[in-house]
Amino acid sequence: MKITSRAKATAFFITLGACLVALTITLNVSWIVLHWREAVPLVLGIILFAFIIAGVVINTVFLVREIRRNEQHDSFLNAVTHELKTPIASLRLYIETLESRHMDETKRREFYRGMLQDTDRLLGTVEQVLKASEVRQRSTRRNWTEVNFGKLVLETVEVARERHRLKPEELHLENAPGDEILVRGNSEELRTLVLNLFDNAVKYSDERKDIAVEIKTPTLDTISLSVHDNGTGIPKGELKRIFRRFFRAHSAKTKQVKGTGLGLFIVRSVARRYGGDAYAESAGEGQGSTFFVRLPRVYRA
Ligand code: ADP
């Protein structure tokens, strides 16, 4: 219902903007016809109309963008609420069952495991939201050390395999990173960056997962991390937009996957703060995708 009214509002403002521009152009043409012999009013009129047209166009673009942003905020709030509510409801059910029934040790342990998974999910969502607001603030470079990036990626592969119960061949490293791939930064932040890419590759792949991770050093002072998956892929028009805060792709498949639209925003913000960047490549929907992160390398000759 809300989306329909937003779509209507967007259409209304675009139409209004177009009508106002058309009206101004008509007035401008009439002005030129009426004053074509008088240089001063003619030039002044043309300049004034140009300003009015530019103003109307800017105003319309701004309004439409605000409406879209509002829409994204709403769906973000819905997604976060859902991500918080589901594990809380599940935890409550576990506790109620544990309290009301006597159960054997094995069953009880299974319940505890389920509860731990729910708290991990809750913690994951809260950390994602906190991290997204943290990366927007200007960072201090306190706690920055030289981090062994190759080792960090190897450890994160293990964490992701464990978290998503993946077989080694489902998430694998294409090459064994050398010891000397060092980045100056905060290891916690770098781990979040890498884990977000792995989580996405898993989330947006179907049952048959084939995720390939590669670390390269294209130049002596650059590191390139790539994460390739054979999942849903990304339409060309969305390759840049997916890095925006709250942005979630509109395809039906993506909509089935839960998310907040913050993961890639965090990835790119962290990469840029370190003097690097992040981008995505995909041949289109259903064709898989590859995410690249470039980071400056600490290199000693
Ligand atoms: P979230 O996954 O929570 O929606 P992200 O910022 O991590 O937020 O991703 C933004 C959007 O980018 C996703 O909604 C999805 O449409 C798209 N996306 C991210 N990673 C992938 C991937 N590996 N394959 C296909 N689409 C992806």
The structure's pTM equals: 0.80
User: Who's near 291: CB < 8 A, 6+ residues apart?
Assistant: 197, 200, 201, 226, 227, 228, 267, 278, 279, 280
Name the residue with the closest Cα to ligand 1, atom 3.
259
Ligand 1 centroid–CA 85 distance in Å is 21
Say if CB 264 and CB 289 are below 8 A apart. Answer: no
Q: What is the residue type of 5?
A: S
pLDDT at res. 138: 62
CA-based torsion, 65, 67, 68, 70: positive or negative? positive
Say if CB 144 and CB 130 are below 8 A apart. Answer: no
Name the residue with the closest Cα to ligand 1, atom 19.
200
pLDDT at res. 295: 97
What's phi and psi for 272, nearest 5 deg?
Answer: -70, -40
Question: pLDDT per residue over 14-39, tens digit each?
Answer: 999 999 999 999 998 998 898 888 88
Burial class for 296, CB neighbours closer than 10 Å (0-12, 13-18, 19+): middle
Q: Which of 131, 199, 204 to mutate to test the pocket of ligand 1 (most atoms within 8 A of CB)?
A: 204
Question: pLDDT per residue over 111-143, tens digit each?
Answer: 999 999 899 889 989 988 998 888 877 666 777
Ligand 1, residues at Cβ distance < 6 Å = 200-201, 204, 229, 231-234, 242, 247-249, 254, 259-265, 289
Question: pLDDT per residue over 257-266, tens digit each?
Answer: 888 899 999 9
What's phi and psi for 241, nearest 5 deg?
Answer: -65, -25
pLDDT at res. 68: 85
The low-confidence residues of the chain, meaning pLDDT below 50, are 1
